[in-house]
């Protein structure tokens, strides 16, 4: 049931983002519980930007969505991997929606964008798998 709710929320977030940014999401899903994008930028745009905002600036409103811009918490590779897989507080667990490669890809994207320069110790599918 939790996976279904996460899937519905994800689909609604993506639909809202697509309307705002004119992104065609019609080919993104074979199964609404699985995201088919493989590159970090597309995964971020489709999943993360709805809360963390398109430029990673975060938001305050109905909830607090931390900024990813210049975020020193992203320095340790394992931290964002764990958050993406398992969630934390308002952050939903995405481990059931993203495979190991997708998690590694989006983590590497946020660690090397938005003013972050943590290109060392890249996330890998093997590391993600070991943290599930």
Q: What is the pLDDT of residues 34-78, one digit of tens each?
A: 678 899 999 999 999 999 999 999 999 888 899 999 999 999 999
Give me the chain's average pLDDT, please.
84
Determine the pLDDT at residue 103. 97
pLDDT in tens, 73-102: 999 999 999 999 999 988 999 999 999 999
Distance CA 113, CA 77 (A): 14
Phi, psi (5° rounding) for residue 70?
45, 45
- Split at pLDDT 50, 70, 90, the class of 29 is very low
Is residue 18 over pLDDT 50? no
Question: What integer pLDDT is reported at residue 34 of this predicted model?
Answer: 65
Q: What six digits make up the tokens of 59?
A: 């938001």
- Determine the 3-state secondary structure of 53 from DSSP: coil
Express as a percent the part of the chain with pLDDT over 90. Answer: 67
- Predicted TM-score (pTM) of the model is 0.74
Phi-psi map region of 53: left, alpha, beta (phi>0 left; psi -120 to 50 alpha):
left
Query: What is the C-alpha separation between 107 and 104, in angstroms, rounded?
Result: 5
CB contact burial 50-83 (16+ within 10 A = b; e otherwise): bbbbeebebeeeeeebbebbebeebeebeebbbb
Q: Please, which residues have CB within 8 angstroms of residue 19's CB and are 6 or more apart in sequence?
A: none
How large is the angle between the packed helices 100-111 and 78-86, nearest 10 degrees?
Answer: 130
pLDDT score recorded for residue 9: 52
């Amino acid at each position: 049931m939790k996976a279904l709710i996460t899937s519905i929320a994800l689909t609604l977030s993506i639909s809202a983002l697509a309307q705002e940014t004119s992104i065609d999401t019609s080919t993104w899903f074979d199964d609404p519980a699985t995201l088919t994008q493989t590159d970090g930028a597309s995964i971020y745009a489709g999943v993360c930007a709805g809360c963390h905002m398109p430029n990673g600036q975060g938001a305050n409103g109905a909830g607090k969505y931390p900024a990813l811009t210049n975020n020193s918490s992203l320095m340790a590779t394992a931290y964002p991997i764990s958050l993406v897989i398992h969630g934390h507080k308002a952050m939903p667990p995405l481990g059931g929606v993203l495979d190991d490669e997708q998690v590694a890809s989006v983590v590497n994207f946020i660690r090397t964008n938005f003013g972050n320069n943590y290109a060392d110790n890249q996330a890998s599918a093997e590391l993600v798998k070991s943290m599930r």
